[in-house]
Amino acid sequence: MANDGMSPALRDRDVDSARQVLESLHRVILTHPVACQAMFSALRAEGLAFMQTERGRVLAERLSRSELIHRARMAWEASSRSILDEKADGVLPSTYLDALFIVAHADRAVPEYESAANGHS
């Protein structure tokens, strides 16, 4: 494998374990959308403030060219289902509400949400 800057231990890590971590993250976001949106907005604001510094601009430029960061962002967006909104102006992400209405109006049951609604996790 090409030298991607990743340690061999991390590279060889079990993909299923990583998938479980991302699924857990998704559950946390769905369980606590307001808190997660607030945390996401605060972290984003910190990042934007850091980008105003010389060190921040240099780092942002390097990261913008990184294939690893691009793939990590894709994984983040898939795991968060893009529920967290970069431009959120309300307390609850509008994407979360959209998802709730889509599931509520679905013609078929969505198993992971049915079990959560029945008190199972």
Per-residue pLDDT of the chain (121 residues; tens, 9 = 90+): 445 566 666 666 667 777 788 788 888 888 888 888 888 888 989 999 999 999 999 999 999 999 989 988 888 777 776 677 777 665 666 666 677 667 777 776 655 555 554 555 4
Specify burial of residue 93 (Cβ count, 10 A radius: 0-12, 13-18, 19+): buried
Q: What is the pLDDT of residue 1?
A: 42
Do the Cβ atoms of 28 and 36 come closer than 8 Å?
Answer: yes
Do the Cβ atoms of 4 and 68 come closer than 8 Å?
Answer: yes
Q: What is the pLDDT of residue 64?
A: 93
Q: What is the pLDDT of residue 72?
A: 86
Six token digits for residue 81: 């289902």
Between CA 91 and CA 22, with CA 97 as vertex, the angle to 5 degrees is 85
Q: Which residue has the tokens 């972290």?
A: 43
